[in-house]
Amino acid sequence: TDTGGSIRQPAALCNLTGMKPTYGVVSRYGMIAFASSLDQAGPLARSAADCALLLNTMAG
């Protein structure tokens, strides 16, 4: 999950693409949130196209 960069920063350091979706796109059911309005689950992938595929799957 990404609250303050937990997806995006490692992605940048590892030459990957990471994305924090907007609030409500991906269900947070089952997550233990540190800040419920900021925590979002998002994809980490090799390209933006792969990120889009993963996000579509995660969003349902």
Q: Does residue 53 fall inside a structural domain?
A: yes
Quick check: is 2 in a domain? no
Evaluate whether residue 1 is within a structural domain: no
Spatial separation of the C-alpha atoms in residues 30 and 13, rounded to whole Å: 28
- Whether this prediction's pTM lies above 0.75 is answered by yes
Domain-embedded: residue 18: yes
Structural domain including 17 reads: 8-59
For residue 6, the SS3 value is coil
3-class secondary-structure state, position 60: coil
Question: How many CB atoms sit inside 10 A of residue 29's CB?
Answer: 5
| Secondary structure (3-state) at 40 | strand
Question: What would the pLDDT profile of 3-52 be if each residue is shown by its tens digit?
Answer: 888 899 999 999 999 999 998 899 888 888 778 788 889 999 999 999 99
Output the CA torsion 8→11→16→21 (10° steps).
-30
Q: How many domains does the chain have?
A: 1
Distance between CA atoms of residues 60 and 58, nearest Å: 5
Q: How does pLDDT run across 15-29, given as a tens digit for each residue?
A: 999 999 998 899 888
In a domain, residue 26? The reply is yes
